[in-house]
Structure 1
């Protein structure tokens, strides 16, 4: 079912004036938009990497929407600026709604059924469709729609619908506004509602179709030749291909990120041979080992005491950078101090406010140190944690630091010993 279009209301006339059939102005919809659900907001981020929004913004001068067939009602999850300008709606009035709200009493049901069938079959289609703006003005578009499929596993991700107006409505409406101006100025107290400040229609202030007298002439299609229609279809198809190209690339990058994270998670501990892993389990301290030779410097080993301290599971830690323990009140200067020491390949000890999995804060006496292999090259960085009490600033840290240094020494011995075993054999 399409959106119900309010009947146009006639402009009131003075009793002393001659009876004239006046243009009619559609009534604006006063319905407040429903809050956008979290699933709609997260729809794009689930399938594409963080750069997708910026990529789509570059196509803002084209009219298109992206819909999610996996959400109830197959709602719009992205709408371009030009689509919003053309339809007269705000983003919050569009997101989360099925595109059928643009349909009206004169929308061709056969074209609508063709779109629905293509969606149910997961196939592309193109139709000429009559839609309505927020103010109730009809406008015909060439709609090209197609599915976006994951190149990784063939899953259906989204549908893209690219629209091109069949006519240059803005030019025709400007002409109509100028022709109607004398009547409107005599009948309406506020002519600026229809005209710009200088008596000329202002599409920027009023919107592409804003508040203009209704005309059945806009429903006519006879003036559009076959070659013009074919050109409009080609434009819509080009826009569709551009959007799908950006989404496909972004989806591939997202898949690569997921696979890389999964690979790090699954293979991190296998990167440490069994004898080294066994040696590390004997060290009864809270610590993690990170690999500085991999982008992001991911954690490749986390001790059981670290997991108990932070409340995380092993698969929630492996493959992530240690910064996931930071929070809103973590001192950025301390974080920078750690980064500088790592860059300089030096050890450091800092007090830093970290957060557990349940987001409860704790003061962490953190000792970070490089670990070199038997060739004197840095193989890992180790971070040893010690939870301090609320009076950490008044407590002597000598005993914890000594234990941390002892843990680092044991890790260094284990790593170098493993290197010697690899060099000389078992």
Structure 2
């Protein structure tokens, strides 16, 4: 919704404040402003009644009643606010806290009990421009949402949750992206490992066969040696007997012994052969495999490292893809919520040149603060927002303490372009009484 859309219908008479007369109201004894629909700057020292003069009646018509109304030492007082269509509001009050507010039409018809009925209709909803512009970005956003009648509490909760999830997903993705796992160079030790396993198996088998052949041979040697031991025993016994018989030569027994035949018999007795040594059960070098076993263990270790590095790489790729998908989903969810929020704000009637973002309110693409835009543009932004809830009387009030002459001129120019009457107050640093200056259109 634009300012042009906020303007009154051409068939409806545009109304402004023509005159404000105040008597015995708060700090004011008597003041009268002849405005004739023009903007005005009211100057005075602090607590001299600038705000009371400009907005006292308007605030009361908006149901805002001050705790002290009548000027100290006075019995009663009266405020009259006359509009450019000839109608006027009259507010009478006294020190007994009694008051009467009357609306008098341009043909002198009177109407009472008008605060709820006519206050908002004529003067709109109050929007404190100065408080808004001097608030924090968060408070400005709350005020603006309240102004356009939009409650984003639940959506803000969803937005906060989606924002946190998006932040977490982005961190997870960046953590993986910034900690790359290098894909290991493709290596296949399986064929070599199989070759070594086969060679070791063959050597073990051949070695076992060799040992078994040695065991068979040693068995034969043992049997041979046993036979020789038996022959040795038999030969030794025969030899002893032979020697004993030979000892009878020349004795009375000699004729009884055939020594020749005895010698032939002794010569025919088989002598035992020398003992054979058992062969040691030792593996030949060609059947040993400890060196192959070391090679096999080294290759298995390399293969294990490769498999582990490949697993880590594949896991990193998988986690990275999942993290990317989760990041994109989280970003889309947050974007969708922000788009929904933006659409709700647009439908609520926020002017096109305003935008509500996480860090505050933007006006014409710039953050609404002193470092981004000029003072005049900042106040124009505030007045533009206030004009969204303006009543039939096209008037807005603000404190121009921080505006220099040129900035104030820009604000007034904008107000004239948009058919607005400004009620401006500024401090008088000499602490003087109320004076005012009409700003001509």
Please give the range of the TM-score, normalised by the shorter of the 2 chains. Answer: under 0.3
The structure with the larger Rg is 2
TM-score (norm 1): 0.22
TM-score (norm 2): 0.21
Greater per-residue helix proportion: 2
Q: Which has the higher contact order (CA 8 A, sep 6+)?
A: 2
